[in-house]
């Protein structure tokens, strides 16, 4: 069974600065995906970025990028030029068989103006 | 295009009662999954349905059941409610059951059991 661990419950960042959210996972599979989801206070969960394990290149979506270390089973999210709207809970997730998502406990990110 | 919709938004029930939560997927999506999110935690997988068949079940008691209708909407039923069932119930839809398919989440139903 896959496990996802997010050990930082809370983080804070100054507006316009960069923050990195950590995630580790465990799996016996060799080909898989990893996701970061954002859940703002309005509750709607949205996909921020995805990484395919077979790709060497780290995924990037505008201000969001990942640092994917397959051997270390690490999958961190970097948010550059942080904005007030980035304040939310962020979840690292592993899609297993039939798209069943295994989520970490999440991290609450606050952005200071 | 309309996203995933869920009803009701909020619900308050008493221990021992039964509850039905509803989900309408994005048009064209044939797979629906249900998750339970306890306050401050990550969502936990409950069920997945694809083409009206159960494709996966999480570690939840038999008090939890679900079904998918011919129009791909879905209902989650919980019997004999316990205080511990209080949570946000999320529905997610996707084109199919395979892992590359992105899951789109609804706003959730907040269930409070007193």
Residue ranges of B 43-102 with Cβ closer than 8 A to chain A: 43-45, 48, 50, 55-56, 58, 88, 90, 92, 94, 96-102
| Cα(B32)–Cα(B71) distance, integer angstroms | 11
Distance from CA of A72 to the nearest CA of B (A): 22
State pLDDT tens for residues A64-86: 999 999 999 999 999 999 999 99
State pLDDT tens for residues B87-102: 999 999 998 877 677 8
Please indicate whether, in this complex, the C-beta atoms of A46 and B105 are within 8 angstroms of each other.
yes
Question: Which residue of chain A comes nearest to B46, CA vs CA?
Answer: A100
pLDDT at A100: 86
A105, A6 Cβ separation under 8 angstroms: yes
Distance from CA of B46 to the nearest CA of A (A): 9
pLDDT at A20: 98
Those residues of chain B that have pLDDT short of 50 are none
- Kindly give, in sequence order, each residue whose CB lies less than 8 Å from that of residue A87, ignoring residues fewer than 6 positions away: A40, A41, A109, A110, A111
Does residue A1 have a pLDDT over 70? yes
């Amino acid at each position: 069974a896959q496990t996802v661990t997010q050990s930082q419950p809370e983080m804070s960042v100054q507006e316009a600065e960069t923050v990195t959210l950590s995630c580790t996972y465990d799996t016996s599979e060799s080909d898989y995906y990893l996701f970061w989801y954002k859940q703002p206070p309005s509750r709607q969960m949205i996909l921020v970025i995805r990484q395919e394990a077979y790709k060497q290149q780290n995924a990037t979506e505008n201000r969001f990028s990942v640092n994917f270390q397959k051997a270390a089973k690490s999958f961190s999210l970097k948010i550059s030029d942080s904005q007030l709207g980035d304040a939310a809970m962020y979840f690292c997730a592993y899609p297993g068989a039939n798209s069943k998502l295994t989520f970490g406990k999440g991290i609450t990110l606050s952005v200071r103006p | 295009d309309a996203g995933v919709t869920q009803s009701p938004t909020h619900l308050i029930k008493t221990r021992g009662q039964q509850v039905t939560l509803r989900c309408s997927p994005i048009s064209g999506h044939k797979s629906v999954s249900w998750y339970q999110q306890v306050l401050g935690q990550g969502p936990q997988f409950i069920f997945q349905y694809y083409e009206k068949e159960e494709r996966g079940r999480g570690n939840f008691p038999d008090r939890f059941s679900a079904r998918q209708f011919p129009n791909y909407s879905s209902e989650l039923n919980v019997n004999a409610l316990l205080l511990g069932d209080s949570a946000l119930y999320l529905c997610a839809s996707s084109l199919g059951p395979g892992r590359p398919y992105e899951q789109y989440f609804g706003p959730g139903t907040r269930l409070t059991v007193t």
